[in-house]
Structure 1
Amino acid sequence: MPESEAGTPTASAPATPGTPGGPLISSLRVDSLSYDRKSMPRCKCLPVSVTAPSWGQSHTCFTDFPAPDVSLTRKLGAEFVGTFILIFAATAAPIVNQKYNNAETLIGNAASAGLAVMVIILSTGHISGAHLNPSLTIAFAALRHFPWAQVPAYIAAQVSASICASFALKGVFHPFMSGGVTVPSVSTGQAFALEFLITFNLLFVVTAVATDTRAVGELAGIAVGATVMLNILIAGPSSGGSMNPVRTLGPAVAAGNYKSLWIYILAPTLGALAGAGTYTAVKLREDEVTDPPRQVRSFRR
């Protein structure tokens, strides 16, 4: 564990919204590539190699994360509710668009998803980190911003919430559920490229506001919601602008339409890894910044 000049353990800032929360602790240094260590000086560690470097730093542990300060049950509950709200809102808009002859329009569809992401981040981010997306969870775990041990439970909560929200929509809007299914209107290659690129954009922004002490973390919800809206405006008419495997999976199960489902599972996951990895590679190092670190509101709960 790193130590400050006074000899006391350092603490990284608490996790985002509140994804993108917690009280401001401006007097503590932040290790933006570690997990949230607030009030948790002891780590659980699995030794691997004394000399193996990880992203430019020496580590002796494959997993180096503390016991969470919020129970896993509460995190999963918040993640379930947040994902349910997101899928319900993001899928309802195109269903309404279909039912009422393009009443929502592309801008309405994009705004519905972007606003849903923003309000969920601001309301549940301080509990679960408001991942809402298996691709984000996997990318953050791969870059050591989130413990691998919690990844299966988070993904299970996200998938189950998506399916529940989709069947709720099916009950409310039947027989117009097909409007909420994301299927490509372009070739398979074009759809894959679009989903990869827009998820790259999303995770680049998420990683910036969630893990970098120089980013304006307090605006994480707005930044991520705006990125979702922008991506849907770009890719919505072509690939559906999913960016999220569960955004496609739940409606596909409810509607019984699994066309090109693999694109919406694989492309966002690869795009998320690339986007998060790219920001990690280009971010400023601590020794390159003279300003004191800000508190980080992150997805790393």
Structure 2
Amino acid sequence: MEHINNEEIPSAPATPGTPGAPLFGGFKSERSGNGSNKYKKSLLKNCKCFGVQEWTLEDGALPTVTCSLMPPPPPVPLAKKIGAEFIGTFILMFAGTAAAIVNQKTNGAETLIGCATSTGLAVMIIILSTGHISGAHLNPAVTISFAALKHFPWKHVPMYIGAQVLASICAAYALKGVFHPFMSGGVTVPSGGYGQAFALEFIISFNLMFVVTAVATDTRAVGELAGIAVGATVMLNILIAGPITGASMNPVRTLGPAIAANNYKAIWVYLLAPILGALGGAGTYTAVKLTEEDDNAKTNASSNHPSFRR
């Protein structure tokens, strides 16, 4: 009988939006006997038996089973990635903007908490449904940040951003048709000074991208709960900055409704601050991310120090 050695296979950081490594995912962590974290790829799911010899009682031979590792899944075609990115961004823009419009139309019946929940839930379900196809960037700031950190190919950036912008415009005009005349509640404009708006958009975009980078590129983070983590971050940011800036965090969240409503007030804030904030958040997590040596040292010391993740 032939056997497969159960060798440990180290995981590489997920490369968002590229074949074989979606934006949200990674190998599950298992703790080995010496206390260090190792990452194993399940052999059971990738092992297939393709030959079994008959068991003959006369010669006392056991049946021989031969196994081989299944090849990795085929890469996702770029056209499907762009299509999934368009649909995901459309759903997010429609849901997030519609909540703000309905809240204004009903004189605040949905409340800030309702608007934050609507957008957070939209982000969560889109990541869970399309993250394995396109990476569910949904945001030019996210796409640019991953490309800058070499987690995403620059040659695909224009196509991703093009799909995101087109989806935002289509969603905005769909809302304009449904909620005619188009209510100004769907447009993100600052209620205070431009400096305050820029600072808030920078900070909440920093927060968002810090969390996205953690769950997308670090196998030690809670990759299985990526949709919940990112959706909760979006909700938190809207509760913080919603009354002041509308909590865009996303250039296309502002661009589409601005075009449909012909309202470009302070649009430079919403195009520039989220990108700079996202770059800062992604770069900061990369700087503080544990290396393999740091992780081993942390594990060895964990017996003397309590931690939420042991």
Q: Is the 8 A contact 1:80 1:157 kept in 2?
A: yes
Answer yes or no: is 1:210 the counterpart of 2:223.
Answer: no
Aligned-partner Cα distance in 2 for 1:23–1:287? 19
**Which residue number corresponds to residue 48 of structure 1?**
none
Answer yes or no: is 1:103 the counterpart of 2:116.
Answer: no
Answer yes or no: is 1:83 the counterpart of 2:89.
Answer: yes
**Which residue number corresponds to residue 153 of structure 2?**
147
- Residue 281 (structure 2) aligned to one of 272, 275, 287: 275
**Which residue number corresponds to residue 3 of structure 2?**
none
What residue identity is the alignment partner of 1:256? N
Q: Is the 8 A contact 1:18 1:123 kept in 2?
A: no
Q: SS where residue 186 of structure 1 aligns?
A: coil
Provide TM-score, normalisation by structure 1.
Answer: 0.78
Mean alpha-carbon deviation: is it higher for 102-111 or for 68-77? 68-77
Aligned-partner Cα distance in 1 for 2:27–2:293? 26
Please report how far the alpha carbon of residue 176 of structure 1 lies from its aligned counterpart in structure 2 after TM superposition: 3.8
Mean alpha-carbon deviation: is it higher for 114-123 or for 169-178? 169-178
- The share of aligned pairs that are identical, in percent, is 72
What residue identity is the alignment partner of 2:24? P
Pick 1 or 2: higher relative contact order, CA cutoff 8 A, min separation 6.
1
- Residue 126 (structure 2) aligned to one of 120, 132, 142: 120
Q: Is the 8 A contact 2:88 2:138 kept in 1?
A: yes
Please report how far the alpha carbon of residue 175 of structure 1 lies from its aligned counterpart in structure 2 after TM superposition: 1.4
- Residue 27 (structure 1) aligned to one of 12, 37, 40: 40
**Which residue number corresponds to residue 240 of structure 1?**
246
- Residue 202 (structure 2) aligned to one of 169, 173, 196: 196
Provide TM-score, normalisation by structure 2.
Answer: 0.76
Superposition CA RMSD, Å? 2.6
Mean alpha-carbon deviation: is it higher for 176-185 or for 259-268? 176-185
1:122-157 Cα offsets, whole Å, 9 max, x none, are 000000000000000000000011111100000000
Q: SS where residue 191 of structure 2 aligns?
A: coil
Aligned-partner Cα distance in 2 for 1:285–1:11? 12
Q: Is the 8 A contact 1:139 1:276 kept in 2?
A: yes
Note the residue ranges of structure 2 that are not aligned, 5 or more in a row. 1-6, 30-38, 43-70, 300-310
**Which residue number corresponds to residue 164 of structure 1?**
170
What residue identity is the alignment partner of 2:174? A
**Which residue number corresponds to residue 178 of structure 1?**
184
Larger Rg: 2
- Residue 286 (structure 1) aligned to one of 261, 272, 292: 292
Note the residue ranges of structure 1 that are not aligned, 5 or more in a row. 1-5, 30-37, 41-67, 292-301
Please report how far the alpha carbon of residue 19 of structure 1 lies from its aligned counterpart in structure 2 after TM superposition: 4.1
Please report how far the alpha carbon of residue 23 of structure 1 lies from its aligned counterpart in structure 2 after TM superposition: 8.3
Aligned-partner Cα distance in 2 for 1:180–1:236? 12
What residue identity is the alignment partner of 1:91? T
Please report how far the alpha carbon of residue 286 of structure 1 lies from its aligned counterpart in structure 2 after TM superposition: 1.2
Q: Is the 8 A contact 2:202 2:277 kept in 1?
A: yes
Please report how far the alpha carbon of residue 20 of structure 1 lies from its aligned counterpart in structure 2 after TM superposition: 3.3
- Residue 229 (structure 1) aligned to one of 217, 221, 235: 235
